[in-house]
Amino acid sequence: MADSPRPPRPWLVFADDWGRHPSSAQHLIRALLPGQPVTWVNTIGTRPPRLDWGTAKRVGGKLKGWFGSKNPTPDGDRLASESPAIVAPKMWPSFRSRFGRSLNRKLLLKSLRPIIEAMPEKPVIITTLPLVADLVGELPAAKWVYYCVDDFGHWPGYDGATMTAMERDLVPKIDTAIAVGETLVNKLAAMGKPAHLLTHGVDLPFWQAPTAPDDPHAFAGIERPIVLFWGVIDRRMDTAFVEHLSRSMACGSIVFVGPQEAPDPALFKLPRVAIRPAVPIARLPALAAAASVLVMPYIDAPVTRAMQPLKLKEYLATGRPCIVRDLAATRLWADALDLAATPAEFAAAVLARLAGDTPLSQLAARERLASESWAAKARQFRAWIDA
């Protein structure tokens, strides 16, 4: 009789809060569920504590997770069958001081050791954040994997000095490194750690499914045509790009949809600019269908040169015209969209696409998205981890 297949080794994943914002790690894990056993650890401490409303709401959410449900599933998440086991360990909200690092090490070990001991074997531990540097060698693990998704040392609003210091501590200790872009691969190589390159995927059926041509609520009272950005609205937005476009448009609106993380206040004062709150991801295809052009007016800075915007392939999958900042990540798709290096180029490209539609040559170039599915990315991700 043939031996039964060996069950997959469990994974323990440190990352952003499950279901709060779609992230590449969440897309990869969803593509592997339910066959891959995963325990997801909601983690805090990336930002310096501030006395503001946004921080207060985050603290409230964390307290609810700590003292409420043992397995919190945020509102708007998909079916429970598509969610891993979620734990929200009690943590001090900062790693900046020696006290904070020491306290968080003790708190996390106390919370996670019993969970790991209850597993059938030692898990593979995967982290998207360098904040777990003090846990390597302390938690039982078959392997440590660093899934490097951004240069957090330059991320707006993050505690960059702490993130950089803990990444320097973490990288020499890990067994496997996987990075989402060439810039991050090169960064890890300079730290002495070779890394696999795994660019982001896209869920083509989701973005290309027939959808209502309009969302009656998101754009109510906004002058058409719509030039649309969705995602985090922060200091990565290039106000000069948006200003040049806003003053070049004779009609229509530039709409930003997403959570705000201390963006440039001047952005809100520009003519023809409208800001709308974040919406569930399920509504984004309808917003894209109602828009005439999709844009990414990012600045050119270390943080944007290292990042791989999830929305890039999502934008392309919608079939809408796309105008984006000329950066390392977007340049890879130069034949499928319009690149802009200056405010004037950006405004000219948007106005040209408002007068027409996505060129057939760009639509043809986007056909290679068919080989960029999250399922394929997840299979490669697991193969490197299992190797």
Q: Which helix (H) or strand (E) holds 39?
A: strand 38-42
User: How many other C-beta atoms are found inside a 10 Å radius of the C-beta of residue 364?
Assistant: 11
Q: Could you tell me the two tokens for 309? A: 């915007």
Residue 144 confidence (pLDDT): 98
Residue 79 confidence (pLDDT): 39
Residue 133 confidence (pLDDT): 97
Specify whether the CB–CB gap between 207 and 318 falls below 8 A: yes
For the CA atoms of 84, 87, 88, 94, the dihedral, rounded to the nearest 10 degrees, stands at -90
Residue 216 confidence (pLDDT): 58
144, β-bridge pairs: 125
pTM of the model: 0.90
Residue keyed to tokens 């180029």:
345
Taking alpha carbons only, the member of 51, 349, 44, 331 closest to residue 199 is: 331
Q: What phi and psi, each to the nearest 5 degrees, are found at residue 370?
A: -60, -25
Q: Could you tell me the two tokens for 150? A: 């951004």
322, β-bridge pairs: 294
Specify whether the CB–CB gap between 87 and 39 falls below 8 A: yes
Residue 20 confidence (pLDDT): 85
CA distances, 72 to each of 15, 27, 37, 90, 185 (Å): 15, 18, 17, 13, 34
Cα atoms found within 13 Å of the Cα of residue 155, Cβ hemisphere only:
19
Sheet containing strand 253-257, strands side by side: 273-276, 253-257, 226-230, 293-296, 322-325, 338-340
Taking alpha carbons only, the member of 290, 293, 265 closest to residue 279 is: 290
Q: Domains of the chain (ranges plus CATH)?
A: 11-201+374-386 (3.40.50.2000), 204-369 (3.40.50.2000)
Per-residue pLDDT of the chain (387 residues; tens, 9 = 90+): 456 677 899 999 999 999 888 899 999 999 999 999 999 999 987 777 654 555 445 445 545 554 554 444 444 444 345 789 999 999 999 999 999 999 999 999 999 999 999 999 999 999 999 999 999 999 999 999 999 999 999 999 899 999 999 999 999 999 999 999 999 999 999 999 999 999 999 999 999 987 655 555 678 899 999 999 999 999 999 999 999 999 999 999 999 999 999 999 999 999 999 999 999 999 999 999 999 999 999 999 999 999 999 999 999 999 999 999 999 999 999 999 999 999 999 999 999 999 999 999 999 999 999 999 999 999 999 999 998
Gap between the Cα atoms of 200 and 182, Å rounded: 12
Q: Where are the alpha helices (DSSP H) in the chain?
A: 24-32, 53-67, 98-117, 160-170, 182-190, 204-208, 239-248, 284-290, 302-306, 310-318, 328-331, 343-354, 360-365, 374-386
Gap between the Cα atoms of 202 and 314, Å rounded: 6
Residue 56 confidence (pLDDT): 46
Specify whether the CB–CB gap between 187 and 168 falls below 8 A: no
Specify whether the CB–CB gap between 112 and 99 falls below 8 A: no
Q: Could you tell me the two tokens for 218? A: 């998101």
Q: Could you tell me the two tokens for 108? A: 């996390």
Residue 371 confidence (pLDDT): 97
